[in-house]
Structure 1
């Protein structure tokens, strides 16, 4: 991709955080932003590095993860296109406390703290939109903790598969393409890759899903959703 032809102000205007901003405000933010390309497996940042900007995944997939004292990796979040991360740390002026790595070839937009603070000073409503975004992420993480604590492994996998499907989809067949490896998704769901594969096999044996590499076909989403209750 020719990054010199990427329309930064226009892209920023399509993000929920910046949708209500005027053209001149978007232009200032764009001047305080940078675009970078990361190859699969390349680090975006590491624990302990200074956090002076927040990030938006334009295309690709980024994993946020921590390493335990025993050297085990735990994926905290998988960040896809249009999603932001590291806003809270940027405001706290603290180093990164987790790691970020590109799971696929990724285009990343990073917006500097200075540019954000300037717009907050000019328009207090901008800070309210940022707070709303942070609240949504916190709510999502709380829901994840509850799911890990209260739901079985089967329920977690089903919840992951149907999370983006319409709630009123009825019995319309659906297809889900796993954005990253099964091992990465297993870590995200706090289970081993072996157990994740076992659950997929169980659901497939029951006729609830059809697995073709990374594509998961769901003949009847409603039946799949009801499965743990039977």
Structure 2
């Protein structure tokens, strides 16, 4: 077996969807898997392109978005290591409804549709894992909709900051994307997002410079968001 396939198998073995598979099963998946390396800012696919498999992020980050007729970009999701995207459209046989762009140097695996279908027919546990992943994605999108409808802009920003803290007692955050991209992800205009950060800073809840944010009072920030 060539080194390329061994390397792909090693990557596959780290993915939750495939981590219970044996060497023989991973070999079958590897035959239909392609490494995709994208530099920061590189396009992975455009809205309307055919979806013939799904992507799994090994490292880096991918922005899923679409652009309105007026040219305004709306960021739907930011996909990081261990996360996947494209499964639902793959099963539906539909083209991509969003565009995907790497926000940093990224390595993905693209697993082809025929391989996935073959494993689903072969292994009921694998099919259940696929369903679980799709259900988790749907739940996340429903939570986003609830947040947009029921939370203020400030509450959405605070919730994001608290979620991004790397540890319970951590106080420093480095935003993974530009403020404009993050604002779109939180369904805010860049101006509104900047104004919220300034207000939180004026209340001595945070301090910030560029993408670096320091949480000055975590408990007060939670209370401020109504947690």
TM-score bracket for the superposition, by shorter chain length: over 0.9
Give the 3 Å change call, closer, same or farther, for CA 191–119 of structure 1 in structure 2.
same
Give the 3 Å change call, closer, same or farther, for CA 6–62 of structure 1 in structure 2.
farther
Instruction: Say whether residues 1:201 and 2:201 are aligned partners.
Output: no
Query: Which whole-Å CA distance do the structure 2 matches of 1:165 and 1:44 have between them?
Result: 29
Q: State the Cα distance separating 1:157 from its structure 2 match.
A: 0.2
User: Contact 1:173–1:220 (CA<8 Å) still a contact in 2?
Assistant: no
Instruction: Say whether residues 1:29 and 2:29 are aligned partners.
Output: yes
Q: Which runs of 5+ in 2 are unaligned?
A: none
Q: State the Cα distance separating 1:87 from its structure 2 match.
A: 0.4
Deviation string 1:3-27 (CA, Å, 9 cap, x unpaired) is: 9597222221222211211221112
Instruction: Say whether residues 1:73 and 2:70 are aligned partners.
Output: no
**Paired residue for 1:107?**
107
Using the TM superposition, name which of 6-15 and 47-56 deviates more. 6-15
**Paired residue for 2:142?**
142
Instruction: Say whether residues 1:127 and 2:127 are aligned partners.
Output: yes
Deviation string 1:79-127 (CA, Å, 9 cap, x unpaired) is: 1111100000011111111111111222121111111111111101101
Query: Which whole-Å CA distance do the structure 1 matches of 2:159 and 2:223 have between them?
Result: 11
SS at structure 1 position matched to 2:225: helix
Instruction: Say whether residues 1:9 and 2:9 are aligned partners.
Output: yes
**Paired residue for 1:214?**
211
User: Contact 2:5–2:31 (CA<8 Å) still a contact in 1?
Assistant: no
SS at structure 2 position matched to 1:180: coil
**Paired residue for 1:155?**
155
Deviation string 1:40-67 (CA, Å, 9 cap, x unpaired) is: 2221111111100100122211111112
TM-score w.r.t. the length of structure 2 is 0.92
Query: Which whole-Å CA distance do the structure 1 matches of 2:204 and 2:121 have between them?
Result: 56
Query: Which whole-Å CA distance do the structure 2 matches of 1:83 and 1:211 have between them?
Result: 29
Equivalent pairs counted in the alignment come to 225
